[in-house]
C-alpha cells in the first residue's frame, strides 16, 4: 500500500465518520415533512432566501450544528422563501430567516433573524 493510498483511505474514513453523526437535511416537501413530524422526532425548519443577509449568516451555523453528534437524530427541512410560498402559510411564516423547532409532533420554539451560534444552538436543543 502506498502512502498516497493510505492517506486517501484515512480521508475517506474521516469523512464517513463525520457523516455518521450528521443530521438529515432535506429541501421542504409537505409529504416528507408531515411523515417526519408524525414520527415524533426532532425537526428544524429553516426558511431562507438567497438575498437575505441573516439567512446567509444562519446557514453555515446550522450546517455546523447539524454535524454535531448531539443533533444526529435531527431532521432539517429548508424552505426557500421565494420559491416555496405554498409552504409558508401552513407553517405560519411571514419572514425569511425563520427557524422553527418541533418535538414530539408539536412546535416547541421559533425565532426570526437570530444569527448568533449560541442562540441558534439553544433554539435547536429545544427539539431534543
CATH class of 22-125: alpha beta
The C-alpha R_g of the chain, in whole angstroms, comes to 16
Residues 6 or more apart whose Cβ sits within 8 Å of residue 34:
none
What is the per-residue pLDDT for 6? 41
Taking the C-alpha atoms of residue 111 and residue 127, their distance in angstroms, rounded to an integer, is 13
Weakest mean pLDDT among 7-16, 45-54, 92-101: 7-16
Taking the C-alpha atoms of residue 54 and residue 9, their distance in angstroms, rounded to an integer, is 38
pTM of the complete model: 0.82
Amino acid at each position: 500500500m502506498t502512502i498516497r493510498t493510505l492517506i486517501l483511505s484515512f480521508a475517506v474514513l474521516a469523512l464517513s465518520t463525520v457523516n455518521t453523526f450528521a443530521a438529515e437535511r432535506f429541501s421542504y416537501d409537505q409529504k416528507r415533512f408531515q411523515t417526519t413530524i408524525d414520527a415524533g422526532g426532532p425537526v428544524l425548519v429553516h426558511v431562507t432566501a438567497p438575498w437575505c443577509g441573516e439567512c446567509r449568516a444562519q446557514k453555515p451555523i446550522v450546517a455546523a450544528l447539524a454535524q454535531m453528534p448531539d443533533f444526529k437524530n435531527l431532521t432539517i427541512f429548508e424552505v426557500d422563501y421565494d420559491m416555496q410560498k405554498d409552504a409558508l402559510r401552513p407553517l405560519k411564516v411571514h419572514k425569511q430567516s425563520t427557524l422553527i423547532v418541533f418535538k414530539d409532533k408539536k412546535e416547541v420554539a421559533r425565532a426570526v433573524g437570530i444569527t448568533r451560534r449560541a442562540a441558534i444552538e439553544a433554539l435547536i436543543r429545544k427539539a431534543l
